[in-house]
Amino acid sequence: MFYILCAILFVGILRNCILAQDTITFDSKTTTMSSRIDLRIVNTASNCPEGQVYCCSTNSQNYFDTTCGIRKISPSSHPQGQASYGAYPWQAALLTTNNNYIGSGVLITSNHVLTVAHKVTSYINGGLKVRLGEWDGQSTNEPYPYQDYSIKKISIHSEFNSLNLQNDVAVITLNTTVPISNSPNINTACFPTAIPAANTKCWVSGWGKNAFGTNGKYQSIMKEVDVPIVDQSTCENDLRKTRLGQSFILNRNSFICAGGEQGKDACTGDGGSPLVCQNGNGQWQVVGMVTWGIGCATSNVPGVYVNVYNYISWIKQQIN
């Protein structure tokens, strides 16, 4: 399906109505990868024509703000489940040099992107790039352009286990510095200061399917879903009720859990998508990254994320 664009004036801000896409594409390259973000949220009513959604607002809050975890673009009216343009300025898309979508990551400094190891092990010797400031993978009709960056180095945790995904963390060093102060649609996420408490409301964003399995269709426009943090003991017990069985032990150094609510989850394929929580100062901290799960969007079956807090020392060694 192709985009149908229409300009409308709503509450004094120019926005675009865009026809929802069936497959995720980047610069007309259609990905064949399966998705880990499975957002089963029905769009609420909007002022766009039927079947279309708002693109974005051009109202920047603070163009030059480089404080981590700050959204520099004012949120616009958007349907539930669709991320507002600029809402996740730290979100990175990992693409092959041919623009095939591989996964996601999160910008943590002006030169470094954090992601999961299992998405980048095949690209240690090249063939990968990072895209920042992306929102709609098919369209360039956005207030600010995305920016592509070549990669200088990929650092993978020395104890990464590809079988059980323990220590599933990697740092990508970019060849050039990101001009954050000149990019309203790009910013870094903050490091977590602690593992968030159970029931803390956090958010996952990505370009995922609108349903699980073969019935799901990719979304070229970034989606979002809120998920509560699940304490590790509860998570372990819940996962033992799945096909993992009663002998399953959650590695609490490697993983934290979130979700377990019917119809809302992070699912198969889009590894590296950041799980962010807001601190008391209004800044967004990356507390996790999508790594694995059992099924999707099932009640009392939490999703499993990299425990970023426990890897801060290792991450800082790589970026220094």
- For the chain, the structural domain boundaries read 91-319
Residue reference for tokens 């020392």: 313
More confident residue, 195 or 41: 195
Tell whether the model's pLDDT for residue 13 goes beyond 60.
no
Tell whether the model's pLDDT for residue 31 goes beyond 50.
no
> What is the pLDDT, as a whole number, of residue 2?
23
Its sign, for the CA torsion 66, 67, 70, 72, is: negative
The highest-confidence range among 39-48, 63-72, 197-206, by mean pLDDT, is 197-206
Model confidence over 102-136: pLDDT tens digits?
A: 889 999 999 999 999 999 999 999 999 999 999 88
* pLDDT average, residue stretch 235-249: 93
> What is the pLDDT, as a whole number, of residue 36?
39
More confident residue, 281 or 81: 281
Taking the C-alpha atoms of residue 292 and residue 268, their distance in angstroms, rounded to an integer, is: 7
Taking the C-alpha atoms of residue 308 and residue 288, their distance in angstroms, rounded to an integer, is: 5
The secondary element (H helix, E strand) that includes residue 305 is strand 302-306
> What is the pLDDT, as a whole number, of residue 105?
96
Which segments of 85-206 are extended strands (E)?
A: 91-96, 101-109, 112-115, 128-132, 147-156, 170-174, 201-206
> What is the pLDDT, as a whole number, of residue 149?
98
* pLDDT average, residue stretch 197-221: 74
Tell whether the model's pLDDT for residue 153 goes beyond 90.
yes
> What is the pLDDT, as a whole number, of residue 135?
87
Tell whether the model's pLDDT for residue 39 goes beyond 50.
no
Quote the tokens at residue 127. Answer: 């063939």
pLDDT band at 46 (very low <50, low <70, confident <90, very high): very low
The C-alpha torsion from 40 through 45 and 48 to 52, rounded to 10°, is 20
In terms of DSSP H, where are the helices of the chain?
232-240, 312-319
pLDDT band at 208 (very low <50, low <70, confident <90, very high): low
* pLDDT average, residue stretch 71-81: 77
Query: In the CATH scheme, what architecture does the domain 91-319 have?
Result: Beta Barrel (2.40)
